[in-house]
Amino acid sequence: MSAPVLRLSLITKRFGTLVANDAISLTLARGEVLALLGENGAGKSTLVSILFGHYLADEGSIEVFGQALAPGDPAAALAAGIGMVHQHFTLADNLSVLDNVMIGTEPMWKPASDRGAARRRLLDLAQRFGLAVDPDASVARLAVGEKQRVEILKALYRGARLLILDEPTAVLTPQESESLFATLKRFVADGMSVIFISHKLDEVLVAADRIAVLRAGRLVAERARAATNKAELAYLMVGREIAPPPKRSARQRGPAVLESSNVQLRDGGRSRLAAVSLAVHSGEIVAIAGVAGNGQGALAELLFGESTPTQGTLKLNGAAYPRTPRAAVTAGVARVPEDRRAQGSVGDLSLWENTAIEQLRSPPFARFGLLRRGAMQTFARTLVTQFDVRGATHGDALDTPARLLSGGNLQKLILGRALSSPRAGPRLIVADQPTWGLDVGAVADIHARLIAARDAGDAVLVISEDLDEIFALADRIAVINHGRIVETRATADWTLAELGLAMAEKRAA
């Protein structure tokens, strides 16, 4: 076996008391695809950030193609032939594909840029690896999968021989993921090496030659693909047997709680929702599946009471849908927003203030404009116990600023707050990406609570980009594509491939 392309030796990185990477040593061979598998927070992104020079390791060293790599310097990493495709793309939306690829590759003092040569080189690379792009297209108009292709081409254009992809499939449909894996195969056939990060067991078993499992900052195992299986990887990744998903009782669904018929939402001439017809009944979970950016945000906004339909009718329990967030809460809509830190909580306010904020002006919490702080704190104390919110470590736990809570605990608080509002009849629960970025334990907890709410007769609408989550939770799955609900079926009537096709299908916007 030839000398490794990459050698990480005893990389350690601490953030305060947290050890994000604990003495990790890894090698990567020429022509190899290595998957870094682990839960959120296991240290995968930290490790590749160190490799690419975004972070400085506290200990350890890196060798690339036999040469020591200067730590903490992305420019050195680029020069050494490392290319990185971030989970959140780093493209300039207002520029063309060609401009994005060329950015930063030409010296500042050069009077004129040689766009002709750059275009030829880009098209040549695109053809060689089967990454079709239009060099003159504006990046803002590209679909997510296409943007990812541009990111990859950008790395290749800079001469990357070692490509790192951070959660590359998170934004892709199953079909797009397959085509990405085919591209990776071409890279390694060409003598390049690839590291990709994932927390999805199925895809690492499809795409990787070797799998390195990280857990809580440690490298717990390395396995060749042929020598392992899904069950073993799951066990290694989580560190314990995973409880089987809660048994789902067959249940009679009740009357429709949410009824949406041909709802449209336009925003300054731009269509955000083209046609949404959907019903969610008491006692069922309906999931909205779709590729990111196909109207999920607009739909959530509508149901949160933050905007009103431009056309069509939207009803809650047969009455007109509430038109403000406060009215939505009063009417029994339990809301879990996509971004728990930017939308779901006010980081600088205390935990108890955050639990009461949705019902701030309601009689139990305010009288004559004066806060009833005692009542608010009692409410918060009950909620924290009931929903098992942890992480308040010092002083009076309820006074802890919400920003100090971990993602999972913050999400429990937000869900608890939503489910603790007064109700009359079945609630409508709207959960937008309810488990995004949470660890397995927190995910199981949130799922169990959503299912329990369903069993208690609530109507649950889950918007998610995680198909595993959708299949685990939903009684029915509706696909959103270009602002339309294109198809709704019972979960058992969908196959993964059909779902992917419905999500990806091109249609006139």
Stretch that binds other proteins, among 1-9, 189-197, 278-286, 356-364 (CB under 8 A): 356-364
Residue 215 binding other proteins, by CB under 8 A: no
Q: Name, in order, each residue with C-beta under 8 angstroms of 88's C-beta and a sequence gap of 6 or more.
A: none
Strand stretches in 415-458, DSSP E: 428-432
**3-class SS of residue 390:** coil
3-class DSSP string for 458-483 = CEEEEEECCHHHHHHHCCEEEEEECC
Residue 400 binding other proteins, by CB under 8 A: no
Residue 76 binding other proteins, by CB under 8 A: no
Instruction: Choose between 255 and 391: whose C-beta lies nearer to other proteins.
Output: 391
Stretch that binds other proteins, among 180-188, 212-220, 226-234, 346-354 (CB under 8 A): 346-354
Q: How far is residue 19 CA from its own chain's centroid?
A: 23
Per-residue DSSP letter, 73: -
Residue 316, number of CB atoms within 10 A of its CB: 22
CA-based torsion, 85, 200, 50, 129: positive or negative? negative
Question: Rounded distance, CA 222 to CA 315, Å?
Answer: 53
Stretch that binds other proteins, among 91-99, 364-372, 384-392, 440-448 (CB under 8 A): 364-372
Residue 358 binding other proteins, by CB under 8 A: yes
Residue 75 binding other proteins, by CB under 8 A: no
- Among the residues of 190-291, which ranges form H helices? 201-207, 230-238
Residue 288 near residue 463, CB atoms below 8 Å: yes
Among 343, 406, 488, 491, binds other proteins (CB under 8 A): 343
Residue 229 binding other proteins, by CB under 8 A: no
Among 10, 56, 227, 452, binds other proteins (CB under 8 A): 56
**3-class SS of residue 506:** coil
Residue 508 binding other proteins, by CB under 8 A: no
Instruction: Choose between 139 and 265: whose C-beta lies nearer to other proteins.
Output: 265
Residue 83 binding other proteins, by CB under 8 A: no
Encoded tokens for 193: 């090496």
CB of 365 to other proteins, least distance (A): 8
Residue 89 binding other proteins, by CB under 8 A: no
Instruction: Choose between 116 and 395: whose C-beta lies nearer to other proteins.
Output: 395
Encoded tokens for 474: 């939903």
Under the rule (CB under 8 A), what is the footprint of other proteins?
A: 15-17, 56, 72, 304-306, 324-326, 328-329, 335, 337, 342-349, 353, 357-358, 360-361, 365-366, 369-371, 373, 394
